[in-house]
Homo-oligomer: A and B are copies of this chain.
Amino acid sequence: MDLKQYLKERCQLVDAALDRYLPREDELPVSLHKAMRYSVFAGGKRVRPILMLAASETVGGSVNQALPAACAMEMIHTYSLVHDDLPAMDDDDFRRGNPTNHKVFGEAVAILAGDALLTQAFVLLSNAENLSLVSPEQLLAVVQEISRCAGSHGMVGGQVVDMESEGSREIDLATVQYIHTHKTGALIKASVKAGAILGGADEVSLAALTSYGEAVGLAFQIADDILDIEGTTEQLGKDAGSDQARGKATYPAIMGLSESKRRANELVGMALQFLARFDEKAEPLREIARYIVARQS
């Protein structure tokens, strides 16, 4: 399959749906809705929604069954970026080459735009229109999975530990692993799992895809750490080496660059093994896993 073409098409599909599912810019309060849309349409690669759609299709579900939840996930991912960039947190002026939300709309609106994006995700997930394609039990299970992975035992928890260990000299592998599995890994796992639930996966398929999601989530973050060192500023949309400069807890900082690459490759190998039971409908998930390490070079 042509992964590049596939990702491009899926990205357009998700973008079009996000445009439908977000309040319009002319709806009151205008500044809030502009700020929400600004960050959602700031060039995200839609990794999480694409994984969710692909997981749904892997177990025989349709794209439409998972599309609202996929967009909800992207809203949650976007809110986390808006809040992470705030002066009180990472204090970033640019993301993907554009001024961050608070630089454009001010800190107060940026905080509230993040809050509203997180809330809008649940508006979307619980929309009664979804019930034409999936059962209320499936939707509730997805709300549960996504909220757990986004909350204090998931993404937000990871962000707190990341922040608290920044610049600390005694970070160990367990801490880095906690940060990675929570801050980014949790939402990636939840994306795959939610797709599987919405696609109607049986218990064994759900477990296999959950394991795939965990492996891919961690591999993705390790690859990101590596890119921060080896990538160009242009590739990254931010300064290369910024994690290092900040004393961020990363895999390469703990175990070195080559051991990090070995670990990322190993995780991708595991992810592919978890997909062994699925037929060619899992090809996109396989290609995405391979792509994660390929983009290192």
Contact = CB atoms under 8 A, between A and B. Distances in A.
B83 A157 contact: no
Interface string A29-64: 101110010000000000000000000000000000
Nearest to A109: B160
A29 to B, nearest CB: 4
Contacts of A152: 23, 29, 32-33, 36, 116, 119-120
A141 interface: yes
A156 B115 contact: yes
Q: Bin chain A's interface residue count.
A: 35 or more
Interface string A240-279: 0000000000000000000000000000000000000000
A88 interface: yes
B122 A147 contact: yes
A294 interface: no
A218 interface: no
A162 to B, nearest CB: 10
23 contacts: A28-B178, A29-B152, A29-B161, A29-B164, A31-B160, A32-B152, A89-B108, A111-B111, A112-B156, A112-B159, A114-B115, A116-B151, A118-B118, A119-B151, A120-B147, A120-B152, A122-B122, A122-B143, A122-B147, A123-B151, A126-B143, A135-B136, A136-B137
